[in-house]
Amino acid sequence: MCPDPQEAVDWLSMLGVLRYVSPRRLTHVPVALTPYHAPQHLINTAAALSAPFQLLMHRVADDWAFLEDTLGTAARHDDFLQRLFGFRLRENSQPWRLLISRNDFFVVPEGAGRGLRQVEFNTISASFPHLAERLFRFHQLLYRHQPDLLSGLLPNDPLTPISTGIAEAVQVHGASNRVVLMIVQPAESNRMDQRGLEQRLLQQHGLSTVRATLADVAVQGKLRDGTLRLGGERVAVVYYRAGYTPSDFVHPDAEAGRCLLEASDAIQIPDLAMQLAGMKKVQQRLTSPETLARFVSESQATELLEVCAEMHSLDADSEETEFALAEATEHPERFVLKPQREGGGGNVYGAEIVKVLAEMRPEERSGWVLMERLHPVSHNAVLLVDHQAQSLRCVSELGRYGVLLAKGNEVLRLNEDAGYLVRTKGAEVDEGGVSAGYACLNSLVQEGESQVSSSMLESRSSSSSTFPVPSATAVSGSSAWKTGKPT
pLDDT digits (tens, 9 = 90+) for 282-314: 999 999 999 999 999 999 999 999 999 999 999
Cis bond upstream, residue 270 (ω within 30) = yes
Distance of CA 166 to the CA centre of its chain: 18
Decide if pLDDT at 462 tops 60. Answer: no
CA-to-CA distance for 420 and 27, rounded, in angstroms?
Answer: 24
What DSSP letter does each residue of 132-176 carry, written as one string?
HHHHHHHHHHHTTT-HHHHTTBPP--THHHHHHHHHHHHHHH--S
pLDDT at 345: 67
Decide if pLDDT at 206 tops 60. Answer: yes
Nearest in space to 418 (alpha carbons), one of 19, 102, 204: 102
Lowest mean pLDDT among 108-112, 294-298, 460-464: 460-464
Decide if pLDDT at 91 tops 80. Answer: no
Q: Which residues are catalytic?
A: 102, 120, 122, 127, 280, 338, 342-343, 423
Residue environment code for 40-68, b if the CB has 16+ CB neighbours within 10 A, otherwise e: eebbebbbebbbebbbbbbbbbbeeebbe
pLDDT digits (tens, 9 = 90+) for 113-145: 899 999 999 999 999 999 999 999 999 999 999
pLDDT digits (tens, 9 = 90+) for 364-419: 898 899 999 999 999 999 999 999 999 999 999 999 999 999 999 889 999 999 99
Confidence of residue 450 (pLDDT cuts 50, 70, 90): very low
* Contact (CB, 8 A) for 454 and 447: yes
pLDDT at 203: 97
CA-to-CA distance for 311 and 324, rounded, in angstroms?
Answer: 9
Decide if pLDDT at 474 tops 50. Answer: no
Average model confidence (pLDDT) for the chain?
Answer: 89
Confidence of residue 338 (pLDDT cuts 50, 70, 90): very high
Confidence of residue 93 (pLDDT cuts 50, 70, 90): confident
Confidence of residue 3 (pLDDT cuts 50, 70, 90): confident
Percent of the residues in the chain that have a pLDDT greater than 70, as a whole number: 89
Instruction: Say what the pTM is.
Output: 0.90
**290: burial class by Cβ within 10 Å (0-12, 13-18, 19+)?**
exposed
Confidence of residue 457 (pLDDT cuts 50, 70, 90): very low
CA-to-CA distance for 40 and 227, rounded, in angstroms?
Answer: 47
Decide if pLDDT at 484 tops 90. Answer: no
pLDDT at 2: 75
pLDDT at 429: 79
pLDDT at 455: 35
Lowest mean pLDDT among 177-191, 194-208, 244-258, 449-463: 449-463
Domain map (residue ranges) of the chain: 5-373+387-481
* Contact (CB, 8 A) for 344 and 486: yes
Confidence of residue 363 (pLDDT cuts 50, 70, 90): confident
Decide if pLDDT at 209 tops 60. Answer: yes
